[in-house]
A and B are shown apart, each in its own frame.
Chain A
């Protein structure tokens, strides 16, 4: 069975500073990996996804993530934080299965951006 671990349930960054959110996964087969963002009182929005093409994936709002198989990681970064980046971020994994598509989520990391 697959699983996802997000290190740090809360991260505080200054506006303009690097945002780094950590995600490690466990999967018995090559996985597909996703990062979602959840703003207060809203649903989840896809930031980016890795589906076995390029290991460096660029997403929306200036975010990118790098798939590192040797480290079983898929960390999310953004060079310069904006106030609008304050939200909760979820890393998720799915694996090719005979049927169906199930996302397994990490516990989430809440990002606070300080002015």
Chain B
């Protein structure tokens, strides 16, 4: 158990819908990261927040948005869902924001878009 929690574990929804994925980082960690894992794209970095501020952005679609709240939990919002958005979404956290910080991964949320 990494100490990172994600809810829900599974999510099934229809095209065009909007969903919210939630992540609670390890106690004391200020950085939160979101990654997408799919069969065709592999593991891709989406976005990083540090203490409530956006720090780095990857190949995140405009239909996707994220935020980190004052209590440091984070939410990833996915809207106008398409079949291709079906994937495993991981949240990770680390103590600091630098590149040598070890990232601890949560168990993931499996999103299925029908």
Complex interface: chain A residues within 8 A of B45 (CB):
102-104
Minimum Cβ distance to chain B for residue A45 (Å): 7
- Cα-based distance from A101 to B101 in the complex (angstroms): 8
**What string of 1s and 0s marks CB contacts (under 8 Å) between B41-53 and chain A?**
0111100101000
Total residues of chain B contacting the partner, CB 8 A: 29
Main secondary structure of the interface of B (DSSP, over half): strand
Cross-chain contact of B107 among A32, A43, A96, A100 (Cβ < 8 A): A43
Binds A, one of B12-20, B67-75, B76-84, B91-99: B91-99
Q: Are A101 and B31 in contact (CB-based, < 8 A)?
A: yes
Minimum Cβ distance to chain A for residue B114 (Å): 21
B6's nearest neighbour on chain A, judged by CB, is A43
Interface size class of A (residues with CB under 8 A): 20 to 34
Asked whether A45 and B105 contact (CB < 8 A) given A96-B98, A101-B31, the answer is yes
**What string of 1s and 0s marks CB contacts (under 8 Å) between A29-44 and chain B?**
0001010100000111
**What string of 1s and 0s marks CB contacts (under 8 Å) between A90-107 and chain B?**
100011110111111111
Complex interface: chain A residues within 8 A of B2 (CB):
43, 45
Minimum Cβ distance to chain B for residue A21 (Å): 16
Main secondary structure of the interface of A (DSSP, over half): loop
Residue among A32, A44, A107 with the highest chain B CB neighbour number at 10 A? A44
A44's nearest neighbour on chain B, judged by CB, is B105
A41's nearest neighbour on chain B, judged by CB, is B107
Minimum Cβ distance to chain B for residue A16 (Å): 30
Residue among A34, A95, A105 with the highest chain B CB neighbour number at 10 A? A105
- Flag whether B25 is at the interface (Cβ < 8 A): no
Within 7-45 of B, Cβ neighbours of A (below 8 Å) are at: 31, 33, 35, 42-45
CB within 8 Å of B: which residues of A?
32, 34, 36, 42-46, 49, 51, 90, 94-97, 99-108
Q: Contacts A43-B108, A44-B90, A90-B43 known; list 6 others, CB within 8 Å.
A: A36-B105, A46-B102, A96-B98, A99-B55, A102-B58, A103-B103
CB within 8 Å of A: which residues of B?
2, 4, 31, 33, 35, 42-45, 48, 50, 55-56, 58, 90, 92, 94, 97-108
